[in-house]
A and B are shown apart, each in its own frame.
Chain A
Amino acid sequence: MTAVRARSSMLRAVLAGLMLVLSAAQGADAQERPRYGGELVYVVPTEPASYDAHREGTFALIHPLAPVYSTLLRFDPTDRTGTKVVGDIAESWTIAKDGRTYTFKLRRGVKFHDGSDLTSKDVKATYDKIVNPPADVVSFRKGQYTAIEVVEAPDPTTVVFRLKWPAASLTTALASPFNWIYKADILAKDMHWYETHVMGSGAFVFVEHVKGAYWAGKKNPNYWDKGKPYLDSYRALVVKDPNAQVAAVRAERAHVQFRGFTPAERDSIVQALGPKVTVQESPWDCVLLVGMNHEKKPWDDKRARKALTLALDRYQGSQALSKIAVVKSVGGVQVPGTPYATPPAELEKLAGYSHDIAKSRAEARRLLKEAGVPESFSFSLKNRNVPMPYEPMAIWLVDQWRQIGLQARHEFIESTKWEADLRDGNYEVAVDTQCSYAVDPDLDLYKFQSMGISGNNYGRYVDKPLDDLYQKQSRALDAEERRKYVRDFERRLLDEEAHYFYTLQWHRIIPHSAKLRGWTVTPSHFVNNQLDGVWLAE
């Protein structure tokens, strides 16, 4: 009992310290003037296959190389929601009344690291590669740009995007941290050059990448934003083992790991470093979903599917799981606190989001009975063998379903097999996942469209009204109108049809050296990695 009390008071002290450190650091950050010099050292947990961001989908490329490149637009590095789009090499832009023509004026004086000028020709060549790649070139996110009819470069500082239809998410799509601007002349000679070479126009110049060891970059003296960057250089250490990542930050061998740590890892770092560490946290635009195979009984019946979501006490789950796993917020189809997030009052109306869990579970039992699902019905829950947060989440789900009389068998299988099984429909119920590079309805809802439209709708359903709602929200230029369609989509997806459901939003926890300033956590670990505004305090 004494040990438990001691541990609990120690935890309270650690958390109180953490909050103090957090608020003190934020206050200091706002008052301080950036300091020049120093090398930022950070940890990257994995490595990409190639250097070409247009063909990759991993943060492992963004974290070490985003500082080297520019994009047309970017997400405001000071915006905690990670949704506010600002210009990077675009100085300004206008949108035609019909929403089908976007005209961007580029900054003057932007240079590639080889000394040549970056002009509209380079932007056009870059987007031609992304939107309409040649036959032998892979463009990972080509599907996000289907609205674009043509990209034009009428003069060196003007780029025009003409669309086939209005696209509410176009600026978000153009701020993608993966859409690095490449040099047109290089692409003209070899479309695959950037897969094995690095040459950008960003705040830092690429120095070297020693595979399996580190990436290094140094300050770009010719960066267009005079006075930036503040750092002399950066070094991204490749550290794959999570314990070694924690040890690197604890031992001050690295200032930060930008993807995120678990609550226990955060506490261990805070306990070791005390005031020398700052913790920033945010809801994370990643979520564990539950997918039910509509081609298998009883999951072809929406009553059975709805019962599964009704059984979950998400609010209690949030309290319990957030202590041990990287999950926390209860949310709908958009990250809480972001522009299209579901207001709590509306959220509570959706199946599985009521605070009255007894009533929800009674309803779940009734639906199961109606659907002819027998008491103690047993089914398999396929899960990916990644411990955090897949394992604790699945254990929680199994327990929640047990409370409405269902027996789920947890199958913890190797990632590739899990992926293949979900893709082939070789499962009954599965833990599925989604991460986006930005919080945006187009990006976050695309997955749930009918099989055949979405590349990873593992529920294997076809729902034309849902597809129509997707299209409507995607083309609604008025924010209020779009919000209404997003809510309609959400209601149909999570409640009326219960095709898929959300568990808890991931929670991003970044404990970093208190010396690191000018960096703000956002819900996406893909954005805010250009490091041009980051500095190191004394």
Chain B
Amino acid sequence: MITYIIKRLLLMIPTLLGVAVIIFFLMRIVPGDIVELRFAGESAYAQKENLDKERARLGLDKPIWSQFLTWMGGLVRFDFGTSMWTGAPISEEIRLRFALSLQLAIMATIVAILLAIPLGVIAALRQDTWIDYAVRVISIAGLATPSFWLGIVFILGLLIIFKWLPPMVYTPFWVNPVQNLAQLIWPALAVGYRYSAVATRMTRSAMLEVLREDYIRTARAKGLWEKLILSRHALKNAMLPVLTVIALEFAFLIGGLVVTEQVFNLNGLGMLFVEAVGHRDYTLTQALVMLVAFVFIVVNFLVDLAYAWLDPRIRFR
């Protein structure tokens, strides 16, 4: 097991390096550059002299290979440098938004789990009854409804019915929990519902499959208590694919809630990502891609480890 963990940890390095190389060159293919955007957009007085000065300051006048070596050198030292747009350290730019994105991802995941697992289990246990059909309708509706659209509905509902809008500025939970939850509960519900739809369907089908297994029949034949069969034998085994879905969605939520963040005016990583790409802020975009890649890799790794705990038959070599 320890060898397996070490091997997986070491494998993260080439994966991250591959991501670093791809994102570096992809960003350079996109037309336009940050300097044009900053200085050429709004003024006839934009002078070539200013553009050249700025390119030199940002190191964009250097050959691509030299820029690449500088980027990789920083990466090895865990130094992402400064944002080309704001000049602020990238770690600072990310730190400002990370807490909000992480909290929202956790809250949405909690909402999704609270909805998906009970609904999925009930639907499986009451297969082909009205309860099952109702759960299927709810989950399919969730799949078909973009979370940002649901967010807009929430906002309009609050605005028109209660003449109230969630707070527009993020307050950390430990500073003011009420203010914090008043802002984040709405996007968490909107995203969590969409997220739960996938997990509900996965839970239902996994449960249906497990409930038909021989060992469940054996447990029932032995006269085991039904609740114990469901929780210890059926649910635990059915959780394997559900866990994968939940974990991957969680990783996605860290940087992927672009439109939802926009709708709710949340100062999160998704918005930062879009702005960085829009500004052609190479350093910041590269750092954000690395962060999201890292989160995906770590989450994947943790899921694999959780498999062994959930299903003792799985052993790592």
Contacts and interface: CB of A to CB of B under 8 A. Distances in A.
B197 to A, nearest CB: 25
A216 B317 CA distance: 57
B169 A214 contact: yes
Interface string A204-223: 00000011111000000000
What's the interface size class on B, roughly?
35 or more
Interface stretch (A238-246, A305-313, A503-511): A238-246
B53 A455 contact: no
A206 B43 CA distance: 28
Nearest to A423: B40
Interface string B32-45: 11001111111111
Contacts of A238: 267
A50 B47 contact: no
Contact of B43 (A140, A210, A244): A140
Nearest to B171: A213
Contacts of A137: 53
B265 A240 contact: yes
A456 B40 contact: yes
A429 to B, nearest CB: 20
B267 to A, nearest CB: 4
Interface string A141-168: 1111000000000000000000000000
A423 B262 contact: no
Interface in B127-163: 152, 155, 159, 163
Contacts of A243: 152, 155, 263
Nearest to B265: A244
- Chain B interface mostly: loop
Given A140-B39, A237-B168, A248-B168, A211 B48 contact: no
A208 B267 CA distance: 16
A136 B163 contact: no
Contact of B37 (A140, A253, A416, A447): A416
A188 B161 CA distance: 57
Contacts of B31: 416-417, 420
A288 B41 CA distance: 14
Interface stretch (B6-14, B85-93, B241-249): B85-93
A392 B267 CA distance: 31
A354 interface: no
A371 interface: no
A49 B58 CA distance: 13
B22 interface: no
A455 B45 contact: yes
B264 interface: yes
B212 interface: no
B222 interface: no
B48 A50 contact: no
Contacts of A244: 155, 168, 262-265
A138 B43 CA distance: 14
Contacts of A144: 45
A139 B50 contact: yes
Nearest to A239: B265
A69 interface: no
B96 interface: yes
A322 interface: no
A320 to B, nearest CB: 28
B57 interface: yes
Contacts of B37: 415-416, 419
- Most chain B C-beta atoms within 10 Å of own C-beta, residue among A244, A420, A447: A244
B204 interface: no
A250 interface: yes
B111 interface: no
Contacts of A239: 168, 265
B40 A211 contact: no
B165 interface: yes
A253 B166 CA distance: 9
Nearest to B37: A416
B272 interface: yes
B80 to A, nearest CB: 16
Contact of B50 (A50, A140, A211, A417): A140
B280 interface: yes
B96 A138 contact: no
Given A239-B168, A416-B280, 7 more contacts: A49-B38, A140-B39, A212-B267, A247-B155, A250-B159, A420-B31, A435-B42
Interface of B: 30-33, 36-48, 50, 53-54, 57, 85-88, 93, 96-97, 152, 155, 159, 163-165, 168-170, 262-265, 267, 271-272, 278-280
18 contacts: A49-B279, A57-B42, A136-B53, A140-B50, A144-B45, A211-B267, A212-B97, A212-B271, A214-B169, A241-B263, A243-B263, A244-B168, A244-B262, A248-B168, A250-B165, A416-B33, A416-B36, A456-B44
Interface of A: 49-50, 57-58, 135-144, 195-196, 210-214, 237-241, 243-244, 247-248, 250-251, 253-254, 272, 415-417, 419-420, 423, 434-435, 446-447, 454-457
**9 smallest A-B Cβ distances: which pairs?**
A416-B32, A251-B165, A447-B44, A212-B267, A143-B45, A455-B46, A241-B262, A244-B265, A446-B44
